Structure 1
Amino acid sequence: MERLKSLRCTIPASICLLAMAVAVALAGSKISIKNADDYGFAYGGEYGFAGQQSLIVTTTPDQVFSFDVASRVGGVILQAIAQPDPSSARVNISYDLALQDGHRFTITMGDETSEIPAPDWEVIPLIRFVDSGQTAAMSLLGEPKNDMEKMSWSLFGTMFIEIHPVLCDTVLGNNFIFTDAMLVAGSPGRIRDVTESFSVPIPGYTDLAKFDKEKSEQTAKKVKDKLSTGGWNTYIYTDVGVNFKFSIRKQSLEITGEPYYAFLSLDFEKKTSDLNNELTNIFRNTIMVRDLNPKIYELDRKAFQTAAILRYIKAANTETWSALVKTVSAQSPEPSMDTPRAWTR
């Protein structure tokens, strides 16, 4: 974006050339966003910005919508624990590196077995995230860390990204960033089609759904109209109160329950937070946001459902969980994808 690009004039040319050289050296091993500047993304070291910042936040369901959490994490929070059907079934999960990526995870419930149809780049970061015990994945409410960041925040309203360490430089972590950025200011912008600008297709993501530009534009207008009613000044994409259920039918894993946007009104003087139930329910009970970009929201749905199952296994079968964490500990799932430091709408 042109406003953010104007910051380049304040950075010595030698530093810019060095940054470009490093970017070229890394390009072959990472997915990138073509014309990332045009989407408002800036990466650590660009424009004189700081490096990536970590987000370490743990919440309980009754804390997610509190002022302390909502003023810190205007982002993505995964905390639900799924329940098996039948409830008496013993659940196990295993990983076989010898199988094709996307088919390596197997889940067993009693005598029933199914694969978990998801690539390593999706499931392995989720295993590490669940194992960490934290619940906040990322936030756009990070504080500016140096003078250049403060200048960009003051002039352009730049938002600074904080992300859980195990999600940094992952495709999944980037998808959570896209999800959070989608409704900023109540008006979905160009971020809606960011999935169509990846440097190369990503198996298990690019093929999840088809992006319909015309439908997305129409939906953006509907979303803007709904959000213009007011009564909110932040939101969290979360699974609070979602009753995830999972079972295996005919060797196929079935999961119910979906994440949603929760809209809140924060009073920074009184330090209070009020959930706008009416607006939250409007968006929770429709597929409206999915049409903004079905690839982004389909991956969200899968990730939240899988994370909820993993939390159940972690709590109910510690031996299996420990073995799983150990098995994937040496894996570096590909592709990777640099995490932006900042985003300007």
Structure 2
Amino acid sequence: MCSQLHIFAKCMNPELAKSCVLPELTELTNDEEPAVREAALESIANVVSHLPVETVRTVAVPLVVKIFQKSLTDVSSPDLTGVARLLGKLSHQLKDVMTADLRDWFVKFYCQLSRFDDPVNEGRPHSVATPTTTVRNGMRTECRRLCAYNFPAMVQMVGGGGYVVKLSSTHQDLATDDSPRVRHTVASGYHEVVRLLGDKSMSAVGIYQKLLNSKSVEVLQGLAGHMTETLKGFAKSANLSPETKHPGIPELIGPLITAEGVAGSCRQWRLHEQIVTGFSSLVHCLTTDQLYNKIVPILMKIITGKYVRPVKLASCQSLAVVTRHLRKADQRSAVVDRLSR
């Protein structure tokens, strides 16, 4: 029932929703059942757009802050995963009524939650696992995974200018997390981060390198589907020459070749196909010599090697795009000669 209260608010005028729905939600946030408290918090996120702005600023925001602060007082509380799940949604809904100081508080709380650790086991790497510690560790991992899922919402809050100072270290920690699920979630949302950073997206290129170099199939699956838009975003941010693409983004070459090797050696040919298809977008990021010396040999190897037909076809298509963008006639001729042998 709690999760349906925001629907009633939609049917009321803002003042009536303020007097009828908000008090009920406030009371339900103190319910003895964790599931009810989480549902109440989610309903608050859904109902704020139907409340008077002043009420949101003076009642809803302080209530959310109080819930967040309370969640950290007990590291074993199930409320933490609910807060981590809804943090991005609440930040997005409330950011327009927050002061600059309150936005900074939200970001700091997010960073603290994303590094969530259990002080009981700190400094005890060899402690004996028990059912309680196993559950607690699973909750901590889930908190970090949910924080990784909500990372784009926090980037939207601070903007491209605040990313380096306020969020880049947290982004790096999540991208190198011990849990593959956390790293996969970071990878799956990385293209959103690039889009939100806009002309500042090159400040996050180091994270992309780490994810590509992780040699994890699960992480690469999160990156591969959006490789084209990610590479185009880097190209726009790097201020490359429109004609020559000079000086290029050479730091991408090694990690991308590593990722292709990992994908090519696993049994998931669709992943390999996605990565090879993404290579065609490197024409926006690399110079002619970089394409010819580093990327063309990889594509040739796939075309002439023992790979499944869809991967070979993707390589042919990417090679056609790359060849069309080679500015030197002798390089284009060399590619054609190699194919015609």
TM-score higher than 0.5 here?
no
Q: Which has the higher strand share?
A: 1
Question: Under a length normalisation based on structure 2, what TM-score does the superposition of the two structures give?
Answer: 0.21
TM-score with structure 1 setting the length: 0.21
More helix by share: 2
Larger gyration radius, structure 1 or structure 2: 2
Higher relative contact order (CA 8 A, sep 6+): 1
